[in-house]
Amino acid sequence: MLEVEFTVDGSRCTTSMFMEDPDTYQGQIICIECGKRAWFTKAYKVRDYERTACFNAHHENGCNRATTILEAENMEGIDADESSDNKSADIIVNLDKTKHGSIDKTADSDKTTAPPHNWQPSPRLQVIGGRAGFPMDKSLRQILSYLIKNPEYGSGKSIRIITDSDRVMVEGMFRDNLVEVPHIEERHYRQEQIFWGMITSYTEKPNGSVWLNYGTWSQPSIILDSELKFDLMDKLKINSLERFKGSYFILVGIVGNSKKGKPILKTGFPKYMNFINYRETDIQ
């Protein structure tokens, strides 16, 4: 897309307008037709392919504004069909077994034009086991794939997340421990939770840290210090954070507030988070 809607006043925003004043538009743009949240993608080159600067979104099916197809990357070996675990009410996640997918590397380009076209704590589990007596071992990436397709996934299921030789990080009913960004409430600040959502931009700081942003400058962000940033980039085999735009994330960690009151998500190691990124191809 070369044009989107600015949600503050319903006006149109072009790629040139966004590049001239990103602070105004960031996190406040949507597809003109289907209303899905949009993000800005810089022009880039991949080998012999040069892509113009544009807007992208996870469009509703049949949206006529969609000019590209976004295909989830590195899903080989990931069972994204949630019906496969209907036989069990329990989920176990061992973070020491975390695997990250890789994200393609790109190079920036200067191309800017294109042809038209009241809360109670979770009950503590006594036994972890499915209806048939066996828990379902899942990865964060697999759980995230279910949530993308069905945000109500996991109702009635329990979860136990372990790491560091069986140290329990999260235990209880799955939906009681799951927080979809940006729906963060005061009660979510009390303990480690499972957070998930979408990233539309990033902000690199002078100290080397990076903020992966959900939307506007007042909405939640994941904060990675310099060491964690480079460790994560190494695990994902990327050389640019630009590819996080439009990706979905899942993170086991805590939420706090910045000095300006912005909710910020923190975690300790790359294995405590995972991402599903999307490869973009033009619609012929």
Q: Give tens-digit pLDDT for 205-228.
A: 999 999 999 999 889 999 999 999
Q: How confident is the model at residue 82 (pLDDT cuts 50, 70, 90)?
A: low
Model confidence at 110: pLDDT above 60: no
User: Does 254 lie in the same domain as 177?
Assistant: yes
User: Does 30 lie in the same domain as 143?
Assistant: no
Of the two residues 174 and 49, the one the predictor is more confident about is: 174
User: Does 49 lie in the same domain as 149?
Assistant: no
pLDDT in tens, 159-203: 999 987 788 999 999 999 999 998 999 889 978 999 999 999 999
pLDDT in tens, 230-263: 998 888 887 888 889 999 999 999 999 998 889 9
Question: In angstroms, rounded to a whole number, what is the distance separating the alpha carbons of residues 276 and 236?
Answer: 11
211 CB contacts (<8 Å, ≥6 apart)? 202, 203, 205, 221, 222, 223, 224, 264
What is the CATH number for 187? Answer: 2.40.50.140
User: Does 144 lie in the same domain as 10?
Assistant: no
Kind of pairing between the strands at 248-257 and 273-276: antiparallel
The predicted model gives 7-14 an average pLDDT of 96
Per-residue confidence (pLDDT) for residue 21, from 0 to 100? 95
Q: Measured on CA atoms in the order 263, 268, 273, 277, is the torsion positive or negative?
A: positive
139 CB contacts (<8 Å, ≥6 apart)? 78, 93, 97, 98, 99, 274
Q: How confident is the model at residue 66 (pLDDT cuts 50, 70, 90)?
A: confident
Of the two residues 109 and 56, the one the predictor is more confident about is: 56
User: Does 164 lie in the same domain as 76?
Assistant: yes
Question: In angstroms, rounded to a whole number, what is the distance separating the alpha carbons of residues 98 and 268?
Answer: 14
Per-residue confidence (pLDDT) for residue 59, from 0 to 100? 93
Per-residue confidence (pLDDT) for residue 68, from 0 to 100? 77
The pair of three-digit structure tokens given for residue 65, joined into one six-digit string = 């504004």
Per-residue confidence (pLDDT) for residue 204, from 0 to 100? 93
The domain in which residue 217 lies consists of: 72-95+130-284
User: Does 147 lie in the same domain as 36?
Assistant: no
Q: Three-class SS of residue 174?
A: helix
- What element of type H or E holds 49? strand 49-51
Q: How many domains does the chain have?
A: 2
CB atoms within 10 A of CB 273: 28
Model confidence at 127: pLDDT above 50: no
Per-residue confidence (pLDDT) for residue 137, from 0 to 100? 76
Q: How confident is the model at residue 130 (pLDDT cuts 50, 70, 90)?
A: very low
Per-residue confidence (pLDDT) for residue 76, from 0 to 100? 53
* Cα distances (Å, whole numbers) of residue 55 to 52, 209, 239, 244, 245: 10, 26, 22, 14, 11
The answer to whether the bond into 182 is cis (omega within 30° of 0) is yes
Model confidence at 120: pLDDT above 70: no
User: Does 204 lie in the same domain as 88?
Assistant: yes
> Is position 271 within any domain?
yes
Per-residue confidence (pLDDT) for residue 86, from 0 to 100? 56
Of the two residues 71 and 13, the one the predictor is more confident about is: 13
Do residues 261 and 253 lie in contact, with contact meaning Cβ atoms separated by under 8 Å? no
Instruction: Please give the share of the chain, as a percent, with pLDDT higher than 70.
Output: 80
Question: What is the length of the chain?
Answer: 284
User: Does 82 lie in the same domain as 57?
Assistant: no
> Is position 48 within any domain?
yes
Among the ranges given (65-74, 140-149, 157-166, 173-182), the one the predictor scored with the smallest mean pLDDT: 65-74
Report for 13-22, 60-69, 107-116: range of highest mean pLDDT? 13-22
Per-residue confidence (pLDDT) for residue 88, from 0 to 100? 62
